[in-house]
């Protein structure tokens, strides 16, 4: 097997298990003694942690979910370059066909978070980890996603709206920044998975029933 293919598979699998760590659940249990799977939306991500536990727990969840995606992408970039490309990190530039290796790792990050192996394949919705992984894939894409997300969420307080639109825009950003088609394909799959994970939110948005974001205030006062 070609070394690049082999190590791409290894680090994509690693992304699945690392990014599958359910930090939101762990933090909510530790800081609020709450199983977020049983309250609110039942989701383990930042938004439900914020609503169910509070600001501090939400901030910790956001940083850890974002961090696991970013750190794993950076580790993968340098490790794959060292193990398969003679240490030539530039060979994995987003404009090269070899860069498709990191797009596959990016997909692994999303799949791990959404279908975590630690909770019977029921995880989060892939936004925070996706943002972190996007920064590691090519940082201007991460910045673009964040700007679009905030542009929609700040005036509406509809986190799901910003999340779905940002996810849908992900392949577009890749094309704008010169990713070859072979690198865009895994990103398209990742975007579809994230949008699919928001299917109930999309239904509520179309019916005008989506809940607007607000922190769980009482828990923050007690903390």
Give average pLDDT by consecutive 10-residue segment, the chain, 223 residues.
95 98 95 90 88 91 97 98 96 95 98 96 94 97 96 94 97 97 98 96 93 65 34
pLDDT at residue 142, rounded to an integer: 96
pLDDT at residue 216, rounded to an integer: 59
pLDDT at residue 32, rounded to an integer: 87
Count of Cβ atoms closer than 10 Å to residue 56 Cβ: 17
**This prediction's pTM:** 0.93
Q: How far is CA 134 from the centre of its chain?
A: 8
User: Which DSSP letter does residue 95 get?
Assistant: T
Judged by DSSP in three states, 49 sits in helix
Contact 11, 80 (CB under 8 A): yes
Q: How far apart are CA 112 and CA 15, in angstroms?
A: 7
> How many alpha carbons fall within 13 Å on the CB side of residue 85?
21
Q: How far apart are CA 32 and CA 39, in angstroms?
A: 12
Judged by DSSP in three states, 148 sits in helix
pLDDT at residue 131, rounded to an integer: 97
pLDDT at residue 217, rounded to an integer: 56
Which contiguous run of DSSP H or E holds residue 112? helix 100-114
CA distances from 187 to 4, 68, 82, 111, 182 (A): 19, 18, 24, 11, 10
Count of Cβ atoms closer than 10 Å to residue 199 Cβ: 11
Contact 70, 53 (CB under 8 A): no
> How many alpha carbons fall within 13 Å on the CB side of residue 54?
14
pLDDT at residue 160, rounded to an integer: 93
pLDDT at residue 211, rounded to an integer: 86
pLDDT at residue 222, rounded to an integer: 34
pLDDT at residue 42, rounded to an integer: 85
Q: How far is CA 155 from the centre of its chain?
A: 23
pLDDT at residue 219, rounded to an integer: 43
């Amino acid at each position: 097997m070609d070394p690049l293919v082999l190590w791409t598979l290894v680090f994509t699998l690693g992304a699945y298990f690392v990014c599958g760590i359910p930090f939101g659940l762990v933090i909510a249990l530790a800081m609020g003694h709450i199983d977020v799977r049983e309250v609110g939306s039942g989701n383990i991500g930042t938004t439900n942690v914020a609503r169910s536990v509070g600001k501090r727990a939400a901030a910790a969840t956001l940083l850890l979910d974002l961090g696991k995606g970013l750190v794993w992408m950076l580790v993968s970039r340098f490790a794959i370059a060292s193990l398969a490309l003679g240490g030539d990190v530039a060979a994995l530039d987003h404009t090269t066909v070899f860069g498709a290796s990191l797009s596959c790792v990016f997909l692994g990050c999303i799949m791990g978070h959404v279908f975590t192996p630690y909770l019977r394949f029921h995880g989060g919705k892939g936004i925070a980890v996706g943002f972190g992984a996007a920064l590691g894939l090519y940082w201007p894409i991460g910045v673009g996603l964040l700007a679009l997300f905030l542009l929609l969420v700040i005036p509406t307080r509809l986190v799901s709206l910003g999340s779905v639109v940002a996810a849908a825009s992900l392949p577009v950003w890749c094309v704008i920044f010169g990713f070859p088609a072979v690198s865009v394909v895994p990103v398209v799959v990742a975007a579809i998975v994230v949008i699919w994970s928001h299917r109930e939110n999309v239904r509520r948005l179309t019916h005008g029933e989506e809940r607007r974001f607000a922190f769980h205030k009482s828990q923050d006062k007690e903390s």
